[in-house]
Amino acid sequence: MLLGSHVSCQGGISKAVGRAEEVGCECIQIFVSNPPRQWPVFSDEKPDSVTVQELQTGANSGSGTQQWRAKPLATSAIEAWNSAISASTVSHPIAHASYLINMASPKDELFRKSIDALVIELERANSLSLNGLVVHPGSFTESSESEGLARIVDAASEALERVAAGTCKLLLENTAGQGSCLGHTLEQLAYMVDGIGHSDRIGICLDTCHAYAAGYEINTRQGFDEMRKKMDDLLPENAIATLHLNDSKKPLGSRVDRHEHIGLGEIGLDAFRFVLEDSVLGKLPGYLETEKGIHEETGEEWDVINLRVLRELQ
């Protein structure tokens, strides 16, 4: 498995490539909208004081942010990225979309803004020749699961129709199922993939922390195999395109999304071994979304440590 991490674009998108190399990434995830209001927080890219509740309900959406008004990237930024990535050993670059996007929103204004933002992010991702754009499907808030799912299908279909096909696939990420977040079951993801169509431009990003928090017992052989069988039964072949490799601070089925360093959380190392050894999942690129910073005792970057822990399991 190619192993990498989410890396900061502070100072310009092309700067992320050097940062990825420094910690030993073979693949890289970035944000293409700046500065993204995001959650969970990466330590060097602090979001504004927006709350999860605001993101889910759309309260405060757009007020005073650059996010919704993001323009296509400057040619100079694209050129700098292209030369940095082509001179690098880092491959499989992907982006994570803004956490402000809520394709399931019952509020028309937020729904329309979400589609527009997704279009811009897909265009940006294509202009950088990225392989994928990971998006959380959305929260239905005061509507219902079925209405939310229908909105997600409509939003993603429209976005893909508005953007010319390029390198970038739209990757729906499984979620922990916090609040009214959709995409925490494989059934919901299958419904979305089915409804959206565009099968060559759509895929799934499987996050280990989210799967566990959503109730998939991936840390036991039986639980992992059950989830894998469900994937095979419900999803089209090759639907899973990428992995987010995160341990979880919160227990099985907690439906709370808190990432932990690999092997130091509730999931533990076995699940990562199962993933790495899997005949399908083990061939996909895997990205860390764990906290940045330096280990207090060893002085090592946490990304270096987490990547080493994973490589030792291979």
Report the C-alpha gap between 212 and 267 in whole angstroms: 7
Does position 207 bind Zn ion by CB under 5 A? yes
Structure tokens at 118: 């997704």
Instruction: Tokens for 120, please give them.
Output: 């811009």
Examine residue 92 and tell whether it contacts Zn ion (CB under 5 A): no
Binding region for Zn ion (CB under 5 A) out of 13-21, 147-155, 181-189, 206-214 = 206-214
249 binds Zn ion (CB under 5 A): no
What number of chain residues touch Zn ion (CB under 5 A)?
3
Q: Taking Cα atoms as reference points, which of 280, 277, 281, 261 lies closest to residue 221?
A: 277
For Cα atoms 80, 7, 25, give the angle at the middle one, nearest 5 degrees.
Answer: 90
Distance in Å, CB of 173 to Zn ion, minimum? 6
Rounded Cα distance, 6 and 176, in Å: 19
Please enumerate in sequence order all residues whose Cβ is within 8 A of that of 279, keeping only pairs 6 or more positions apart, or say none: none
Q: Per rule CB under 5 A, is residue 123 in the interface with Zn ion?
A: no
Distance CA 25, CA 272 (A): 17
* Segment contacting Zn ion by CB under 5 A, of 9-17, 83-91, 187-195, 285-293: 285-293
Closest distance between Zn ion and the C-beta of residue 210, in Å? Answer: 6
**Choices 68-76, 97-105, 270-278, 288-296; region in contact with Zn ion by CB under 5 A:** 288-296
Other CB atoms within a 10 A radius of the CB of residue 294 amount to 12
When the beta carbons of 77 and 259 are compared against Zn ion, the nearer one is: 259
Q: Which residues bind Zn ion (CB under 5 A)?
A: 207, 244, 289
